Amino acid sequence: MLGNDAAETSKIEVWWDMKDCPIPEGYDARPVRPSIERAFNKLGYSTCPVSITAYGDQNQTPCHVLRGLSSTGVAVVHTISESTRSVMHRDMVEWRGQNPPPATILIISDQVEGDFSWDLARLQQRTRYHLFLAYSSKPCNDLFLLRYANWRWEKLLEEEGGTPPLVATGGLSSAAVFYCKSCNFNCQSLKTVRKHLSSYKHGLEDAINSPDSRLLCVTKTWAKNYPATPEHATAKMHVLWDMNDSPIPEGYDACRVRPSIERAFKELGYTGVLHSRMITNFEEWAEDNPAPATVMIISDRLGWRMSQSSLLQKSNYNCLLAYSVRPFVKPTLLTSAEWLWESLLAVEVKWLLHLPVCFIAICATVIAKAWMISRSISQEKNIHMRYASSPLSLSVNI
Ligand SMILES: [Zn+2]
For 306-321, how does the pLDDT look when each residue is reduced to its tens digit (9 = 90+)? 667 888 888 888 989 8
CA of 193 to the centre of ligand 1 (A): 9
Q: In this predicted model, what pLDDT tens digit does every residue of 176-214 receive, in sequence order? A: 699 999 999 999 999 999 999 999 999 999 999 889 999
pTM of the model: 0.79
Ligand 1 centroid to 336 CA: how many Å? 41
Torsion of CA 136, 142, 146, 152, to 10 degrees: 10
CA of 207 to the centre of ligand 1 (A): 10
Ligand 1 centroid vs 114 CA: distance in angstroms?
Answer: 29
Class level of CATH domain 223-354 = alpha beta
**pLDDT tens, residue by residue, 237-271:** 888 888 888 888 888 888 888 899 999 999 999 98
> Are 148 and 119 within 8 A, CB to CB?
no
Distance 84 CA to ligand 1 centre (A): 14
Kindly list the protein residues that place their beta carbon closer than 5 angstroms to ligand 1, a single-atom ion: 180, 182-183, 202
- Residue 169 Cα to ligand 1 middle (Å): 27
244-249: long-range pairs with CB below 8 Å, 24+: 245/299, 245/300, 245/301, 245/324, 246/298, 246/299, 246/300, 246/322, 246/323, 246/324, 246/341, 248/345, 249/341, 249/342, 249/345
